Amino acid sequence: MPLINPYCTVAEVQKELRNTDSALNAELETAINQASRWIDDYKGRDYFLHDHSVSALVIRATDGDIVQDELFLPYYPIITLTSVTVKGTTWTENTDFVRDTRRNRLISVDGEWDLSEVTDKVDIVGKFGYDQASSAAVPTGLPLHINKAAILVAAAFSGHNRKEAVGLDGGKTEVIEKDIPQVVFKILGARAKAI
């Protein structure tokens, strides 16, 4: 299976496994895809590119992303923000709204976003998340802890994560680790709360 929005490369997982057998590449790609989506689920967000530079990101009055003067963006960080159009009227940044990148929101300067009808919407043109050369490439600027967690989880999911265990008699035995290492949970921090 080809890589789709991966958070690590095959070479990184091969290094973790200490196994460069290219015959495993398809299995490793599947494990990387599964690990990347597992991280998305665990963190309650994703880290790949959402390109709305041609087709606008639409936030509707009924989506629950707008609370009084705040519009919470579903993807972050903001790579580019080209335009914000509210009910057909283009708003100007720092005049009609301001960005709060710390909390991933746009704030209406004049109060509420005035989306009282079910059909009301905000069209946002821009790019969000982390830039990618293609959907098969690891995103540029991906946080290092996300990359490291993806490597470790993909290694576990691959079924090829061999570790040495020392028995009570001092003899070494090779075992296959299929569980996600506990360090991954420390790296990623708390699981996202279900909404």
106 and 55 in a common domain:
yes
Structural domain total, the chain: 2
55 and 31 in a common domain:
no
pLDDT in tens, 53-94: 999 999 998 888 888 899 999 999 999 999 999 999 999 999
Domain termination site, one of 96, 111, 128: 128
Please report, for residues 42, 134, 136, 168, 186, the alpha-carbon distance to residue 191 in angstroms, rounded to integers and kept in the order given: 5, 28, 26, 36, 10
116 and 20 in a common domain:
no
Containing domain of residue 27, as a range? 10-47+133-188
In a domain, 4, yes or no: no
18 and 85 in a common domain:
no
**What pLDDT shows up at residue 63?**
81
**Alpha helices, H only, the chain:** 10-17, 25-43, 144-158, 182-188
- Residue 147 sits at the vertex; the CA angle it makes with 78 and 46, to the nearest 5 degrees, is 40
Q: Which residues pair with 121 in a beta bridge?
A: 60
The model's pTM is: 0.87
Domain termination site, one of 99, 128, 157: 128
63 and 109 in a common domain:
yes
Under 8 Å between Cβ of 164 and 44: no
pLDDT in tens, 123-135: 999 999 999 999 9
pLDDT-derived band at 13, boundaries 50, 70, 90: very high
In a domain, 103, yes or no: yes
